[in-house]
Structure 1
Amino acid sequence: MNEAGKTVLLKALQKSSDALGEDSFEPVEDYPRKDLSAYLKTHKTEPAAVTELTYALEDDEVEKINTKVGTALKPGHQVTVTSKYDNSIVIGLAVDEQPLVKAFTKSLSTDAAAALSSCKKLRVIPTLLAEVSLTDSDSAALAALNARITASKWDNVAQWETWAEISNRRPKFLYFSDYDLLPGKMNLADLATRVEQAKSDPKHLKPSHRAVLALLRMADVPITDLTTPSGYEELKAKIEAVSIRLTDQVMEFWKQNEDLEVEVDIKADPSDEGPFNNGANLYLRIKNRRHRGVSTPFDQRSRGFIWFFSFLVWFDSVQHQLDPSGKSASKRLILLLDEPGLALHALAQADFLRYIDRLANDHQVLYTTHSPFMVHSDRLHQVRVVEDQLKVGTVISEHLSGADPRTIFPLQAALGWTVAQNLFISERNLLVEGPSELIYLQAISGLLEADGGGGLRDDVTIVPTGGLDKLATFVSLLGANGLKLAVLHDFSGSPDQKLESLVRDKLLAAKSLFNVAQFRDPEKSSEKRQPSDIEDLFSVSLYLKHFNATFATQLGGTVIAESDLPAGDRIVYRLEQYIKSKGLTIRPSGGFNHYAVAAHFAGSPPKSIDAATKGRFKALFAAINAAY
């Protein structure tokens, strides 16, 4: 909701590690106002912590650090960086020096190594070797170690060297909001004056000035070129070049009106009001080919277009500032977008989501929104809700249970849009992971009913949710509407924590949560059940019959039997391993399309089902029917 604290969250992240180095924490602005007076008395001597950010190293980063420093960090190693209101930081990083001590000891002679038998820290090694007769090789190794110790600012040398590597890789934050929008015109003399004044006081440059400087930076045009009359033709050529470039960039994602062109111009207007009557002004206009090339001032276009355009200019400029080579530095950015596309039409918001997806190839993106059209309905598990809780403050959570209905309303609207496009929700719903489950359950239920009964009750709607990670979100959102829900999911070998939490939070009855493994081998206890998919409820021979028929062309006459498959719990994984080992190409991306086998089964159902398969599905349907 408004005033829940979304902007505060993004600004706190930005100020913790601002990529541009322009923003920092100010106690008077940022500290909770009700306690500010008391805090200012201790601020200089005991600055309070404002954010604690936890970073996890990627596997390749761990490998590089271990190789360079000699550490033995494990995959996923974490470091915390706590920022304080005086803009100092406290680093939490656990690094064991023992591997480095052992490696150093192995490089020494026998006598020197013996002196270090109980050593655990690099810093004490020179002292322990002070009375030992060293070989030339020992002395060289000790000299190299002393250089490392001297360069280290911390007691733990390995910890310091590890942080030196991590700090270079730590991503920075970039924040963008409506305050950074481009104006339609800017007086160049005034801008040049402000640029000079900003060298001593950055406050002379407002967001609008920075936005225009970003535009000029895209054109590779210094402000000094614009304030002198010489070289106009060269300047005009550069301005036209950036106009074309901007048009191409914007139109790639702006699909609401593809007849627009960006036009940048420079001219004087002595009749305008100050400061625009003092020399040349830079004008930004938008030309509409649909109306015979008529152009209008940029700031008279729709607010949505202005935002979209301004963001593209700003981000291109920022990337250039951070990494003129365009190679790698700018990729270590986390983009913080505050209510992007708020003024965009619903379909234009979808255009902007595509642009965010493009950005996400190189950057993590966090954005706040109230709009259901700015939520990927197939990625609801990525959503976090922000609430200002009484006596607690702003809380950011992935748990929808207990959230204020007004907070989750945009999510319900996003889900409702998807539901309206794809399926009809009834009073009783069985949530499954994907369309394969839907097809198998409907087909088998029909076969059982035709054979005397035992299928799924006919007032239950099977709802595919798009994966296990989305099931919990669907339960939270649909359950709030008073619908009767049951869940059937594949079993990985251990209970799914998100679904278990729904039971604990009483959003889903325990009797309504089912996993496939329960019906594959009912005699086994929950701790000993095999990892299972819906396909494992079929006898292996029956599933292989339909698999072979589905991919007969790709298999080239090969008929796969159960004896051909490697051992394993899940038939789909065993088949994928077989396909890979034989070098078969069922689909370009590898493996095979599970849905295609399900579709074949529904299109060419068997006349009879073996007793084991029939028994498993009868038990499944009986349990689900009883849950309602």
Structure 2
Amino acid sequence: MRLKKARVTNYRSVVDSGWFDIESAKTIMVGPNEAGKTAVLQALQQINPPADVVKFDALRDYPRSKYNDITTGRVDPKDVTVVEVEFELDEDDKAAIPESMRNARYARGRRLDNQPWRTLRDAPALPTYAGIEKELTRLCAHIDPRAETKTPGGAAPSAGLTAITTGWTTTTTIDGERATALKTWLDAALPLIDETNETEDKRFDNLVAATRVHLDLQAALDVLDKRVPIFVLFNNYFRVKPLIQLDHLAQRLATNVLDDSQYDYGNVCLLKLLGFTAQQLSDLGKAVPPPANQPAALQTYRDQLDKRSYQLNAASVQLTDEIRAVWRPREGRAEADKLRIVADGQYLKVVVEDDLGVEIELHQRSEGFQWLVSFFVVFFAEAAGKHQNAILLLDEPGLSLHGLKQREFRSTISRLAEKNQAIYTTHSPFLVGPDELDLVRVVDMTERRAGTKVHTTVMSGDPAALLPLQEALGYDLAQSLFTQERNLVLEGLTDYWYLDATSALLRAANLTFLNEKIALVPAASAGKVVYYATILYAQQFKVAALLDSDSAGDQAAQQETLTHTLGNKGILRTKDAYTGPVTKPEIEDLLRDTLVTIAKDSLGIDVTTEATNQAGRPIVDLLSAANSSFSKYKLAKAYIRWTRDHTANDLSPAELAQFQTLIEKIHKALK
């Protein structure tokens, strides 16, 4: 199963985050300091945390401004849901639960008193007594006489039913013990039903189905509860000590007296990764070899030492391989450093061996390298080693990594997210890819009383919250402006998304797709296209511009500077590829049929009838008129998501032809 959406309420700075979507692979949270990003991750972990994670504490975790409600008894912790989530079931999950529950949404939460709850939303409704009372009465009228015939003077089945239903009202739901008791009564009544009477036979089946709703619901919940992924939170305070005194650590763990729980957490994870407890490694360090005349004892002793050596070596190799993927060797060096975990008496050491064979303790390496080692130790110990479907929560990962290594670590997160959903917070533009803005959730707190809010769309009342996104786009733009020989300047980011995502569909279908050597440069608005085009042209690159055929595009296309720079052949208009009746088409009109469906299914805006009756009106105008809160950004984002689960064959023939024509014209302009 995959986490689909989440909500945090009444936790530290979070009064109500609002529901926010979680991506199927990785989700990026950005926002300024003190916005509440860490609080959101900490609350999420409580859905299903690893063992020994500190639980909710009303004194520490309930919003301080509202804590008086707890002390006065106006609010009971057992009534306060702090975090709730919804999961999307995969095919394996659905196959494991009753068929009647397979279209439901599995939701789970945890209250302030640390008690979890779970439910299935959109599951078949539990029947009430009012819905089956008449059917039960009619069934009794059918079986009571037949029971009297078989057992004269015996208790009528209706008497047993009365004993079960005493105290039931019209609103009583058929669940729990009530469902079980009624099912037992129906099983006993089955032999009394005339098998040739189709009406009574069908009535019996319907009543049994009413009792099965609760039983199926409970069976589904019991199965899904066991499949909930573990939530692993990693923050920058977790560190693996380069030198662990095993005897002392074993004593602290045995007495639960830790000098620094966050610091020791990394050490405990290292031991989990190795497959030993601190006490076991300590005992091995104290062990004295038996005499040579005791071969059996000597062999046991050697086996223990070999097992320790082999497991330490296997863990060292695993960590080295992962770290090398990010911490790549500098130019001129044959290979990256090797990580070694060495047991020496009562000490467990983490050392780094360089290309000369020199061993250096971990703490003598850079902060960034230490952080990376600690991250992989915690992840493999708490997630990969035990759960293939963990949810990884990273709080400001890689702060001490160089910007370029952060970009490489971003790829590492993407790789881990293929099997383990990842949610991470960041201030760094290097951890937000230019093609990942649809994965971003903006966290802000514009007003203390309102608390932390999480926005699924890239919007915020606090400009500082968007700074990492602006920096990421600026960095990528600066890189792309002077690296590609051929450049296509677009009006905005949504144009970039439509063109890039549709080209990917065409490429997968072996149709005409956009040349990968052409850089797509979003200019933020039609009016700014001329600036980007001029700068690129001045660098003697090949440049073309794609403009919508609306008023803003017309105005930009008529700028003397742009026409002088690019010439008429270098200025492409959406109407050049569009074949429909819209007189001033925008890029969205090239995907009109598909976007009408996506707007209905994903945004809840249904303009199917209007799109047919007003075929000459731009699709964006229709959607804006139907819903005042319509956003071109939301529509483009929904289209990107749609392309992940669809192919080019799912586009209409007109859409395929229009986009292939557009791409051919782009190639011609930039040949």
- The 1:304/1:62 distance shift into structure 2, 3 A limit, reads closer
- The 1:315/1:43 distance shift into structure 2, 3 A limit, reads farther
Which of 570, 573, 577 matches 2:653?
A: 570
Q: Please tell me the residue identity of whatever aligns with 2:363.
A: D
Q: Please tell me the residue identity of whatever aligns with 2:368.
A: G
After TM superposition, the structure 1 = structure 2 runs for residues 189-588 of structure 1, keeping only pairs within 5 Å, are: 189-198=247-256, 206-223=261-278, 224-227=280-283, 228-230=286-288, 231=301, 234=306, 235-255=308-328, 257=330, 258-267=335-344, 280-289=346-355, 292-319=356-383, 323=386, 330-390=387-447, 391-423=449-481, 429=491, 432=495, 433-434=498-499, 456-458=557-559, 488-489=587-588, 490-491=591-592, 492-494=594-596, 521=616, 569-571=652-654, 573=656
In the alignment, which residue of structure 1 is the partner of 2:242?
184
Matched, 1:87 2:143: no
- 1:493-514 Cα offsets, whole Å, 9 max, x none, are 429769x99xxxxxxxxxxxxx
Distance, in Å, in 2 between the alignment partners of 1:283 and 1:412 is: 43
Match of 2:237, SS state, is helix
| Offset at residue 181 of structure 1 (A) | 1.0
CA contact (8 A) 2:488 2:546 kept: no
| Offset at residue 229 of structure 1 (A) | 3.1
Q: What TM-score results when the alignment is normalised by the length of structure 1?
A: 0.62
In the alignment, which residue of structure 2 is the partner of 1:553?
none
Distance, in Å, in 2 between the alignment partners of 1:229 and 1:283 is: 19
Give structure 1 stretches of 5+ with no counterpart: 269-279, 324-329, 465-485, 502-515, 529-565, 576-591, 605-628
CA contact (8 A) 2:326 2:409 kept: yes
Distance, in Å, in 1 between the alignment partners of 2:612 and 2:378 is: 52
CA contact (8 A) 2:48 2:228 kept: no
Match of 1:12, SS state, is helix
| Offset at residue 334 of structure 1 (A) | 1.1
- The 1:183/1:136 distance shift into structure 2, 3 A limit, reads farther
CA contact (8 A) 2:142 2:193 kept: no
Distance, in Å, in 2 between the alignment partners of 1:93 and 1:10 is: 24
Distance, in Å, in 1 between the alignment partners of 2:108 and 2:396 is: 27
- The 1:299/1:241 distance shift into structure 2, 3 A limit, reads same
| Offset at residue 354 of structure 1 (A) | 1.2
CA contact (8 A) 1:112 1:133 kept: no
| Offset at residue 163 of structure 1 (A) | 1.6
Distance, in Å, in 1 between the alignment partners of 2:143 and 2:470 is: 70
- 1:441-497 Cα offsets, whole Å, 9 max, x none, are 998999x9xxxx999335569999xxxxxxxxxxxxxxxxxxxxx973332342976
| Offset at residue 383 of structure 1 (A) | 0.6
Distance, in Å, in 2 between the alignment partners of 1:519 and 1:131 is: 62
| Offset at residue 225 of structure 1 (A) | 3.5
| Offset at residue 54 of structure 1 (A) | 3.2
Matched, 1:14 2:45: yes
Match of 1:71, SS state, is helix
Match of 2:587, SS state, is strand
In the alignment, which residue of structure 2 is the partner of 1:170?
228
CA contact (8 A) 1:172 1:332 kept: yes
- The 1:185/1:260 distance shift into structure 2, 3 A limit, reads same
In the alignment, which residue of structure 1 is the partner of 2:100?
71
| Offset at residue 430 of structure 1 (A) | 5.4
- The 1:422/1:497 distance shift into structure 2, 3 A limit, reads farther
In the alignment, which residue of structure 2 is the partner of 1:609?
none
| Offset at residue 309 of structure 1 (A) | 0.9
| Offset at residue 297 of structure 1 (A) | 1.8
Of the structure 1 ranges 311-320 and 390-399, higher mean CA displacement relative to structure 2 is found in: 311-320
Q: Please tell me the residue identity of whatever aligns with 1:86.
A: D
| Offset at residue 358 of structure 1 (A) | 1.0
Q: Please tell me the residue identity of whatever aligns with 1:216.
A: L
Distance, in Å, in 1 between the alignment partners of 2:380 and 2:336 is: 23
| Offset at residue 524 of structure 1 (A) | 11
Matched, 1:96 2:127: no
CA contact (8 A) 1:16 1:51 kept: no
CA contact (8 A) 1:256 1:348 kept: no
Of the structure 1 ranges 5-14 and 118-127, higher mean CA displacement relative to structure 2 is found in: 118-127
- 1:297-322 Cα offsets, whole Å, 9 max, x none, are 2112111111111111111112366x
Q: Please tell me the residue identity of whatever aligns with 2:224.
A: I
CA contact (8 A) 2:546 2:571 kept: no
- The 1:126/1:312 distance shift into structure 2, 3 A limit, reads same
CA contact (8 A) 2:326 2:408 kept: yes
Distance, in Å, in 2 between the alignment partners of 1:444 and 1:183 is: 55
Match of 2:271, SS state, is helix
Of the structure 1 ranges 160-169 and 377-386, higher mean CA displacement relative to structure 2 is found in: 160-169
Report 1 or 2 for greater relative contact order, CA contacts < 8 Å, sequence distance ≥ 6: 2
- 1:365-406 Cα offsets, whole Å, 9 max, x none, are 000111000111111111111112212111111334443121
In the alignment, which residue of structure 2 is the partner of 1:612?
none
Q: Please tell me the residue identity of whatever aligns with 1:488.
A: I
- 1:118-157 Cα offsets, whole Å, 9 max, x none, are 9995553444676675379999xx9xx99x98xx9xx933
CA contact (8 A) 2:390 2:421 kept: yes
Distance, in Å, in 2 between the alignment partners of 1:62 and 1:267 is: 46
CA contact (8 A) 2:544 2:670 kept: no
Which of 58, 61, 68 matches 2:89?
A: 58
- 1:13-65 Cα offsets, whole Å, 9 max, x none, are 11232143533211112111222243134389553424342314335257425
Of the structure 1 ranges 348-357 and 130-139, higher mean CA displacement relative to structure 2 is found in: 130-139
- 1:279-305 Cα offsets, whole Å, 9 max, x none, are x2222121222xx33332211211111
What is the number of equivalent residue pairs in this alignment? 471
Provide the alpha-carbon RMSD of the alignment.
5.3
Distance, in Å, in 2 between the alignment partners of 1:487 and 1:285 is: 59
Distance, in Å, in 1 between the alignment partners of 2:650 and 2:337 is: 61
Q: Please tell me the residue identity of whatever aligns with 2:596.
A: S
| Offset at residue 254 of structure 1 (A) | 1.8
CA contact (8 A) 1:69 1:162 kept: yes
| Offset at residue 180 of structure 1 (A) | 1.7
| Offset at residue 248 of structure 1 (A) | 2.4
Give structure 2 stretches of 5+ with no counterpart: 1-31, 147-157, 162-169, 289-300, 504-512, 521-525, 527-542, 573-584, 604-610, 624-648
Match of 2:342, SS state, is strand
CA contact (8 A) 1:197 1:204 kept: no
- The 1:49/1:332 distance shift into structure 2, 3 A limit, reads farther
CA contact (8 A) 1:111 1:132 kept: no
- 1:545-573 Cα offsets, whole Å, 9 max, x none, are xxxxxxxxxxxxxxxxxxxxx99843355
Q: What TM-score results when the alignment is normalised by the length of structure 2?
A: 0.58
Distance, in Å, in 2 between the alignment partners of 1:569 and 1:311 is: 47
Over the matched positions of the two proteins, sequence identity in percent amounts to 24
